[in-house]
């Protein structure tokens, strides 16, 4: 499993960095994905963004 190769903290940092979790998104009213979730936004919308990035 990858968890044994890459510590979870490093893996999470890589995911955040590569998925633009900290970039403002127009579909989230100009908020970042993190800010959108903290404001009570629907997790399914953020999951959809992440899923679409996986298709690249």
So where are the chain's domains?
Answer: 2-54
19 by DSSP, 3-state: which?
Answer: coil
pLDDT tens figures, 3-56? 455 567 777 777 766 666 778 888 898 998 888 999 999 999 988 887 876 665
pLDDT tens figures, 21-30? 778 888 898 9
**Residue where the block lists tokens 């960095």:** 17
CB 15 within 8 A of CB 9: no
Structure-derived torsion over alpha carbons of residues 31, 33, 39, 40, reported in degrees to the nearest 10: 140
In sequence order, what are the beta bridge partners of 24?
Answer: 32
């Amino acid at each position: 499993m990858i968890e044994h190769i890459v510590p979870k903290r490093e893996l999470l940092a890589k995911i955040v960095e590569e998925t633009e979790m900290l970039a403002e998104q127009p579909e989230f009213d100009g908020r970042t994905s993190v800010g959108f979730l903290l404001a009570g936004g629907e997790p399914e919308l953020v999951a959809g963004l992440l899923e679409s990035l996986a298709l690249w």
